[in-house]
Amino acid sequence: MWSLIQKIWQGIRAVQSFTMTVLFLLVVILIVASLTKGNTPVLPDAGVLVLNLKGVLVEQTREEAPEIALLQRDSAQPREILMRHLIEALKRGAVDSRIKGAILSLHDFRGGAPSKLHRLGVALDAFRKNGKKVIATSDSYGQAAYLLAAHSDKILLHPMGSVMLTGYGRFRLYYKALLDKLNITAHVFRVGTFKSAIEPYIRDDMSPAARRANEAFLGDMWEAWVDDVTAARKLSPGAITAYIDNAATVLRAARGDTAQAALNAGLVDAVMSRVEQRAYLKDAFVDNSKDGGPAAKPTNIAYGTYLQATGKGEATSGNAIAIVVARGSIVDGKAPRGVIGGDTFATLIRQARQDKSVKALVLRVDSGGGSAFASEVIRRELAAAQTQGKPVVASMASVAASGGYWISASADEIWAAPTTITGSIGIFGFVPTFEKSLDSVGIHNDGLGTTPLSGAADLTRGIQPVMADLIQQGIENGYRRFITLVGTARHKTPAEVDAIAQGRVWSGQKALDLGLVDHLGTLDDAIKAAAERAGISDWRTVYVEKQASYINRILSRMLRRIGPGTDSGLATMARLLAPVGRVLDDAKILVGMNDPQGMYAMCLACRAFSEEATGGR
């Protein structure tokens, strides 16, 4: 009897376990279904696009790992705003009779590189030319936010806010004295007068050559910013310069009221509290031109919701132009989205060129370079597409310098924005050794080898002269290879390329004058050029990029749908530890250098204008 009872009990437990497992699986399926279902939102008859730019503008989002989604719930980790979604929403809204205008909310805007800001400004202007009103709103405007706001019909500012304009600058940390104190020997191998990527490790200040180069491209960037804002706001020439150069006098005239100072200077149209702004926006887009009583107030629609509601019916077959986005540092091997792994990126290019529906490739570059070896792997894969008869057009975003230029150089056409940072054609090697550090604490190195090269690269005994000679020769050969491939692609002699290379950075406008790029224009211009080269008049665009794993996407969506993160103090701590963060960023770059030959085509000066440079609200 007892044995029977035990068997019955075991059966009950088995049924219980089975039932709980089934219920758990059903719950998981329901959660997954709710997160992945594609219910199309229903649009109202009259709506206003809400462009709530909460985060930083990027060409491509980083791989969506769950831990990143968790961090992004806190303001210490800025969200990423995909440029192509914003541009597409404005394009569709411009010709949609249901859309009456747009609210440009910049309260939490964390900035973006100049070329992205200018491009978005052009898209806002195109939207307005179709009779759609744009109103910008924010508590305060930093330089990046104000450039976008300038392309609005009205700019609203909080009474306790300000318009803070500072111009562009390039400041960085230098570590020579620190390395000397730690007895670390920095061995540098480079070619090029202006290759300043490794200056922070061999100097305590900016070299005269780097200062001249930085002054030139920063001047081009700032001139473009001032011209854009002056034209968009219809300001008098010199108004921006006067506002900045005489900041103390301007503020004193407004009795210390920063909002009034901006209003007096014509930089904003109205000063309103948040309550007043909300009330104003409710009526701002009402169409009272029709007879028959008061018009209905349009409904606010988030631009993401609008894209979801209008995204159906897109072509999934026919001729295609493949867009492959190269964002981030170039490293050897495999890498997640947001970092350009040579092997990973070459696989994406191969996938595109082997697709029979793809008739041409557009390489969208937003990179300051990295591994020379990985850059060549990528360039060779692009060349294979050209050999196969598929045109390759390079479209430079904010930065396409050093390795970013290397992978672009052999394209059939190169397009850049006037404010693209490009060039930086040069190569360097950097090897720190620790023989002095070890000696200072009583540790010494001794031994023997069978050849002069035995132990010649041992970091605990220093780089031996024979190895240093070999490395320098390799760097010089890499530089010759770089300027030769550029010369072949750009129809110049190596000497002509060398004259404008040597690691010097140029703006897109200057690069056009020097023959480093073919045209100034947008990504759309590059896509049209690719279609023309492919001989097609009807096409669709497809983005070829590495996807995060399915489970990562699901977990990320779940974390983001929980809602905004509570203020854990991370944002304040991040600001207080900003200097430490800059040191860690520089250290991370060094740690990430994995070129098998130790040769790098990298532009660290360009980082100030990458998508991570937020430029203020």
**Residue 25, domain member (yes or no):** no
Domain that holds residue 76: 47-163+268-310
Which of 276, 310, 344 is at the close of a domain?
310
CA distance 58 to 421: 16
Cβ atoms 425, 408 nearer than 8 A: no
Backbone angles phi, psi at 453, to 5 degrees: -90, -10
Domain match, 360 and 509 both = yes
* 292/335 same-domain check: no
The predicted pLDDT at position 163 comes to 97
- The residue-averaged pLDDT of 454-478 equals 87
CA 345 – CA 603 distance, rounded (Å): 20
Residues 439 and 546 in one domain: yes
Residue 261 confidence (pLDDT): 97
Give Cβ neighbours of residue 580 (< 8 Å, ≥ 6 apart): none
Task: Indicate if 369 and 290 belong to the same structural domain.
Answer: no
Question: Alpha-carbon distance 135 to 102, whole Å?
Answer: 7
Assign 72 a pLDDT band (cuts: 50, 70, 90).
very low
Same domain? 375 vs 514: yes
What DSSP state is assigned to residue 214? H
| pLDDT-above-70 percentage for the chain | 79
Instruction: Answer whether residue 366 is part of any domain.
Output: yes
pLDDT of 592 over the 70 cut: no
Residue 14 within any structural domain of the chain? no
Band of pLDDT at residue 172, cut at 50, 70 and 90: confident
Whether the CB-CB separation of 372 and 333 falls below 8 Å is answered with no
CATH number of the domain encompassing residue 508: 3.90.226.10
| Most confident by average pLDDT, 357-361, 449-453, 458-462, 548-552 | 357-361
Residue 615 has pLDDT above 50, yes or no: no
Q: What average pLDDT does the segment 100-109 reach?
A: 96
Q: Which of 310, 344, 377 is the last residue of a domain?
A: 310
Q: What are phi and psi of 38, to 5 degrees?
A: -110, 50
Same domain, 490 and 409: yes
Q: Are 591 and 349 in contact (CB under 8 A)?
A: no
Burial of 162 (0-12, 13-18, 19+ CB in 10 A): buried
Q: Which of 233, 241, 225, 614 is nearest to 419 (CA)?
A: 225
> CB neighbours of 7 closer than 8 A, spacing ≥ 6?
none
Q: pLDDT tens digits, residue range 180-196?
A: 999 998 888 877 665 56
Name the domain count of the chain.
2
Q: Does residue 497 fall inside a structural domain?
A: yes
CB 444 within 8 A of CB 460: no
Same domain, 427 and 533: yes
Specify the DSSP element, H or E, that contains 350: helix 342-353
Max mean pLDDT among 208-217, 281-290, 391-400 falls in 391-400
Shared-domain flag, residues 479 and 551: yes
pLDDT confidence tier of residue 563, bands split at 50, 70 and 90: very low
Q: Is residue 245 part of a domain?
A: no
Torsional sign, CA 402, 407, 413, 415: negative
Active site residues: 195, 402
> Is residue 428 assigned to a domain?
yes
Report pTM: 0.83
Domain presence at residue 212: no
Confidence of residue 617 (pLDDT cuts 50, 70, 90): very low
Question: Do 395 and 275 share a domain, yes or no?
Answer: no
Both 439 and 526 in a single domain?
A: yes
- Where a domain ends, among 310, 340, 367? 310
Question: Do the domain assignments include residue 284?
Answer: yes
Give the length of the chain: 617
Mean pLDDT of 35-58: 83
State whether 423 and 555 are in the same domain. Answer: yes
Outline where DSSP puts E strands in 234-338: 270-271, 299-302, 320-327, 330-331
The mean pLDDT of 522-549, rounded to a whole number, is 91
Residue 521 pLDDT > 70: yes
Both 289 and 366 in one domain: the answer is: no
Question: How far is 586 from 200, CA to CA, in rounded Å?
Answer: 10
| Contacts of 103 by beta carbon, 8 Å cutoff, 6+ apart | 48, 49, 50, 51, 134, 135, 137, 281, 300
Number of neighbours of residue 446 by Cβ within 10 angstroms: 5
